[in-house]
A = this chain, B = another copy of it.
Amino acid sequence: MPERRTTIIAFSGEYDKLVAAFTIANGAAAAGDEVTVFFTFWGLSALRRDARTGPGGAGPRGGRLQRAMARALPRGTSKLPTSRFNLAGAGPRAMRAIMRTRGIADLDELIALAREQGVRLVACTTSMDILGLTAQDLIEPLEYAGVAGYLEHARDAGVNLFV
């Protein structure tokens, strides 16, 4: 039986959308699919380390605009906005609190579970270049790929989503 594949492009970098993306990723992995989540653009902010890192401790690479972009980009899942009712960060805090109370896995737990289940987490190298992010800025281990790497997975996948 050919292995089934699921791919999700995590573009938006919003807490609620990533919860949906990883709920689907984990469900598909639990059902035996080979699952890949591609982090592009704002989605990469979910993968950022909390500490300021980078070559020589100088922070993100690139010119002035790239450094400004990298500074503006949230660091890690606890800083992500929600796509609706963000209310200067009150929305995501409320959502995390509700999920904790109701015993629903939060985004960090969903990502950890995805890793355990062998979901491949791939960072888009072109987006990293635009946003002034290097591999040192992101959590490990990750895979790195461009659009060709994405398509290689997506073309044989039954479920492909852009989130």
Contact = CB atoms under 8 A, between A and B. Distances in A.
Nearest to A12: B83
A154 B25 CA distance: 13
Interface residues of A, number: 55
A147 B24 contact: yes
A159 interface: yes
Copy tally for this chain in the complex stands at 3
A134 interface: no
A137 interface: no
Interface string A137-160: 000000000111011001111111
A98 B41 CA distance: 13
A123 B82 CA distance: 20
Which 7 pairs of residues, A with B, have the shortest CB-CB distance?
A27-B147, A161-B162, A65-B94, A154-B159, A42-B84, A155-B158, A159-B160
